[in-house]
Amino acid sequence: MLIPLTLTPSFADFCQFCRQRSRVTVMPSICGHCLSRLPFRPKRIPVSFAELQVILPPLVSKMIICPFYYTGVVRQSILRMKFSGRWHTARAFGPLLANAVRRERVVADWIVPVPLHDSRLKQRGFNQAEKLAVFMGSALDLPVRKSWLVRREDTPRQSEAEEGARFRAVLNAFEVPENIRLDNQAVLLVDDVYTTGATLAAAAKTLAAAGAYVQPVVLASNQGKPMI
């Protein structure tokens, strides 16, 4: 017997966190119960580049759109994306990132994910920032342009280098291909986690040097998190 297409359970119907289908949901790919357990950041504690010892061009927004603390379910999901290949939670996080962008009333033309170096990409098989960008892009109806930003140097993992060395290494790690000009284009620059901010600042600086107005968007950060 043929099952009508509309009744076929699709992968996207499942909550990406508890795998259940039946719970009431207001967002795609996440049920109401799991949504209520996510560590949302209060809006009055924004994430900013303020702590970084680097001058960013005026074309880079100093305030970063970031809906979550890097803790609990969000931290587990990001670690699973990175190290166990389980990127499907990006289906749920993408629309939540899109909501955060809408709340700030930011208008953009394009979405660019922070790239991984080729060797890291081969190792992992996908770029988690790109997965987030793609699902955020479909929720916002904005095109994703991953080729506009290239990581030409691999930088040491955070655990393998002291912060100062990592910062210096990452500052010049990105480039925009020569034939791309981004004057007057508003770009949402997407990454998964803001920790030291060095990677995001370097990527934003590079896009701005090609003429783009850059609004960084990250899924999670512990900046300003109360110590309790």
The site for Zn ion (CB under 5 A) is made up of 15, 17-18, 31, 34
Least separation in angstroms between residue 89's CB and Zn ion is 11
Of 34 and 140, nearer to Zn ion (C-beta) is 34
Of 14 and 49, nearer to Zn ion (C-beta) is 14
For residues 61 and 178, give the distance between their C-alpha atoms in angstroms, rounded to a whole number: 24
Sheet with 186-194, strands from edge to edge, namely: 110-113, 186-194, 213-221
C-alpha pair distances (Å), 156 with each of 131, 169, 193: 23, 8, 16
Least separation in angstroms between residue 14's CB and Zn ion is 8
Contact by Cβ (8 Å): 176, 148: yes
For 39, other C-beta atoms within 10 Å of its C-beta total 16
Least separation in angstroms between residue 42's CB and Zn ion is 23
Of 33 and 82, nearer to Zn ion (C-beta) is 33
Least separation in angstroms between residue 36's CB and Zn ion is 10
Nearest Cα to Cα of residue 41 among 228, 200, 188, 226:
226
Of 31 and 149, nearer to Zn ion (C-beta) is 31
Tokens 């970031």 found at: 66
Least separation in angstroms between residue 76's CB and Zn ion is 13
Residues 6+ apart with CB under 8 A from 91: 12, 16, 28, 29, 135
Of 34 and 98, nearer to Zn ion (C-beta) is 34
